[in-house]
């Protein structure tokens, strides 16, 4: 074992990359949950996004179009969830699970002929000046563009939720859908929009795995990332700022265990690979005090 082989700068730099797919999926789910909808299908939408993004990117040779396709794929799948929960008033927990099972099957079917191919390269950008700062530069300012797009989306969501009228309506719908309905807000429309946004973000997160992080398509490649994203929303107490902290914390654990594996620590690989999931459980235990949106998971049926 040689722990000195682990370069702390590289470790911190890869932390941001490891956290990005979770961050993207989690910020989408955060908006969905703030609107009062619990979509447990994040894993299914992520993996569908991963395969859609991969197919589009290899067909067109453009990772950007791939990400666009992934967002569309995730959003389309989430519309199915929206149709069932908002219009056919089905149980959100069960429907979310169905979405995950369906998405896993669908993605495996779609991705059959794409196994073993490499995704088109998605080069890192080197931000001038900022990227040249010693230590901080390589850690923060020398990544692929999606890392910054993800952070941009988080900032945008924060601004939308806390500084705009639309955000206020969305939060009202999530806190008490009957009151929001009585005030004349469109509960269903708001929620459908939120669900679609959540699906698109989950799709982007999945595509980040298949286009940047791995970058290949394999069946079941999300390996619980969607569920971890759900956990991080709880950890963040439904606040965008803390979501970044949660995602990076998780990214840190993932990267550290990968580095320990590479450094040949005397613990078998199988035990090390448990650590992200155990860390998520620990985080849930410590941070289960946050208050969930009032109408989270409840069915809205306007009697009049």
Partner 1 sequence: MIVLDKRPQPSRLWSYAAPVLAVVLTMLVGGVLFAALGKNPVAVIRTIFLDPLFSEFAWFYRPQLLIKGAPLVLIAVGLSFGFRAGIWNIGAEGQYIIGALCGAAVGLALYPAETRWIFPLMIVAGAFGGWVWAMIPGVLKVKFGTNEILVSLMLVYVAESLLAAMALGPMKNPDGMGFPGSRNLAQYPSAANLELVAGTGLHWGVVAALIAVIFAYVVLARHIFGFQVRLAGQAPRAARFAGVDPARMVLICMGLSGALAGMAGLFEVAGPAGQVTIDFNVGYGFTAIIVAFLGRLHPVGILLAGGLMALTYIGGGIAQSNLGLPAAAISLLQGMLLFFLLAVDVLTHYRVRFAARKVA
Whole-number Å distance between alpha carbons of 231 and 253:
15
Residue with smaller CB distance to partner 1, 20 or 86: 86
Residue with smaller CB distance to partner 1, 61 or 105: 105
Residues across the chain: 304
H/E stretch holding 243? helix 240-262
> Phi and psi for 267 in degrees, rounded to 5?
-95, 135
What distances in angstroms separate CA 226 from CA 39, 60, 204, 276, one per listed residue?
11, 27, 12, 13
What is the nearest approach in angstroms of partner 1 to the Cβ of residue 84?
Answer: 6
Residue with smaller CB distance to partner 1, 122 or 222: 222
List binders of partner 1 among 262-281 (CB under 8 A).
268, 270-271, 273-274, 277-278, 280-281
Residue with smaller CB distance to partner 1, 129 or 285: 285
List binders of partner 1 among 218-237 (CB under 8 A).
219, 223-224, 227-228, 230-231, 234
Contacts of 300 (CB under 8 A, 6+ apart): 36, 86, 177, 178, 181, 187, 188, 191
Residue with smaller CB distance to partner 1, 101 or 130: 101
Residue 243, CA atoms < 13 Å, CB-side half-sphere? 27
Q: Which residue has the tokens 């993932």?
A: 254
List binders of partner 1 among 78-117 (CB under 8 A).
80, 83-84, 88-91, 93-95, 97-99, 101-106, 108-109, 112
Whole-number Å distance between alpha carbons of 253 and 285:
17
**Interface residue list for partner 1 (CB under 8 A):** 40, 80, 83-84, 88-91, 93-95, 97-99, 101-106, 108-109, 112, 219, 223-224, 227-228, 230-231, 234, 268, 270-271, 273-274, 277-278, 280-281, 284-285, 288-289, 301, 303
């Amino acid at each position: 074992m040689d722990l000195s082989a682990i370069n702390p700068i590289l470790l911190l730099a890869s932390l941001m990359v490891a956290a990005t797919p979770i961050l993207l999926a989690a910020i989408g789910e955060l908006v969905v949950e703030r609107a009062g909808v619990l979509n447990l299908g994040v894993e299914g939408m992520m993996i569908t996004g991963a395969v859609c993004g991969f197919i589009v990117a290899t067909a067109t040779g453009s990772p950007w179009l791939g990400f666009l396709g992934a967002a569309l794929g995730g959003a389309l799948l989430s519309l199915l969830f929206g149709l069932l929960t908002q219009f056919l008033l089905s149980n959100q927990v069960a429907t979310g699970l169905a979405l995950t099972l369906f998405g896993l099957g669908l993605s495996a079917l779609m991705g059959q002929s794409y196994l073993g191919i490499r995704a088109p390269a998605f080069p890192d950008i080197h931000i001038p000046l900022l990227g040249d700062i010693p230590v901080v530069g390589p850690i923060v300012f020398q990544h692929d563009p999606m890392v910054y797009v993800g952070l941009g989306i988080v900032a945008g969501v924060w601004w939308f939720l806390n500084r705009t009228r639309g955000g206020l309506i969305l939060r009202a719908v999530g806190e008490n859908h009957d009151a929001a309905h009585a005030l004349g807000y469109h509960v269903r429309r708001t929620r459908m929009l939120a669900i679609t946004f959540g699906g698109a973000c989950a799709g982007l997160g999945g595509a980040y795995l298949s286009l940047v992080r791995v970058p290949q398509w394999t069946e079941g490649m999300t390996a619980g990332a969607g569920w971890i994203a759900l956990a991080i929303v709880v950890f963040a107490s439904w606040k965008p700022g803390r979501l970044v902290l949660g995602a990076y914390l998780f990214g840190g654990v993932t990267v550290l265990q990968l580095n320990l594996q590479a450094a040949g620590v005397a613990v078998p690989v199988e035990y090390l690979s448990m650590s992200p999931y155990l860390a998520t459980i620990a985080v849930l235990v410590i941070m289960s005090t946050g208050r969930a949106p009032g109408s989270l998971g409840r069915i809205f049926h306007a009697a009049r």
